[in-house]
Structure 1
Amino acid sequence: MTEVLQNLNDNLKKQVLLYGKILSIEERKQKALLANNLQEIEVTTGLEEQLLLEAGHLERERLSWAEQIGQALGKKPEDLTLAELAEHFPVLQEVRLELEQVVGSLKEIHELNTQLLQQAMKIVDFTLGMMTHQDKNTYTHPGRKEKDGNKAVHLLDWRV
């Protein structure tokens, strides 16, 4: 059991480091969002995708270790929490705290970045609406057709 436990601990430490890298990329992306630097947003998104693929690999590996530990404890791996494992195996306590801290920080910055992106999309929608002089969004009522007499001519007609 100690080898499996050590492998799980090592895996979790790798996840802490990886999520730390993702956190720094999210911070970099936030600066790019504030500066409206589209090229930097694209670069950071690409880097983030690569790291998320690696995180998926580590998570699959973690599940295999958790499955082995779960069998020893008589529980399914998806029912085991890290807090519960840390109670049974105090060696996991430190990595649990580190993981909670980095994931919490990542969640906060991700929520802020999501809000920034939503605000940017509202600005784009507003700008397009102004450019096309549309009274309403053509995507509000899918499938509903306008009468020929009510159609307005716009600089850009972006109806599909």
Structure 2
Amino acid sequence: MPVIKPLKDNLEKQVQIYKELKNLADIKQKALVENNLQELEAVTVREEQLLLEAAHVEKERLLWVDQMTQKEGKPAAELTLSELAGRYPELENVKKDLETVVTDLQGVHDLNTQLLKQAMNVVNFTIGMLTHQDKNIYQKPGKDENIESKTFRLLDRKI
């Protein structure tokens, strides 16, 4: 059981990191709706820091899992938190907390992704409206000048 305590502590650290990421995702969502670019940038910087911390904690978790696999006699890929929580009741609460926070974070992340896609559609539409021309200025030699191009390229890579 000496491996369970550090594993539990590690998972609790992960729960705290994910809770903070969830809070930041909520703040990001509000910043997206309000089009507050400074807040969005500040949140993104903090998220990057937390993700680096989460990666470090995950590496530690993998070390504890390696020790558990030796004790349990199973490969790491087959050893799940649900299975461990079934054998070690002290992991049950952290398992529930981890499942809850990850589910909540995924929901907020999905909504933020939709908001970003909508914002990109608005930007693309605005650029399209601003760059609309009746015909292209430059045409390939031999092309009829009266034929209008269906698309306008802001930057034409072919010269």
> So what's the TM-score if we normalise by structure 2?
0.85
What is residue 72 of structure 2 aligned with on the other side? 73
Q: Per-residue displacement from partner, 1:5-24 (whole Å, max 9, x unpaired)?
A: 10000000111111111110
Match of 1:115 in 2: 114
SS at match of 2:47: helix
| Matched position secondary structure for 2:3 | helix
Write the mapping of 1:70-109 to structure 2, written as runs, cut at 5 A.
Answer: 70-109=69-108
Structure 1 unaligned segments of length 5 or more: list them: 136-145
User: Residue 35 of structure 2 aligns with which residue?
Assistant: 36
Q: Is the 8 A contact 1:131 1:156 kept in 2?
A: no
The gaps in structure 2 that reach 5 residues or longer are: none
Shift of residue 104 of structure 1?
Answer: 0.5
Which residue in the other structure is 1:141 paired with?
A: none
**1:6–1:134 Cα change, 3 Å:** farther
Deviations 1:45-69 (A, max 9, x none): 1100100110011111001101111
Distance in 2 (alpha carbons) for counterparts of 1:159 and 1:114: 30
CA contact 1:82–1:96 (8 Å) conserved in 2: yes
Asked whether the equivalents of residues 29 and 44 of structure 1 are also in contact (C-alpha less than 8 Å), the reply is: yes
1:77-102 superposed Cα distances (whole Å, 9 cap, x missing partner): 23211111101111100100000001
Please report how far the alpha carbon of residue 151 of structure 1 lies from its aligned counterpart in structure 2 after TM superposition: 7.3
Amino acid across the alignment from 1:11: N
Matched, 1:62 2:61: yes
Task: Give the distance between the partners of 1:74 and 1:125, measured in 2 at CA.
Answer: 55
Aligned length: 148
Q: Which amino acid aligns with 2:31?
A: A
Q: Aligned partner of 1:90: which letter?
A: P
> How much has 1:159 moved relative to structure 2?
3.3
CA RMSD of aligned residues (A): 2.2
User: What letter is aligned with 1:158?
Assistant: L
* Equivalent in the alignment of 1:17: 16
Q: 1:12 is aligned with what amino acid?
A: L
Partner of 2:156: 159
| Higher radius of gyration, 1 or 2 | 2
* Per-residue deviation, 1:75: 1.2
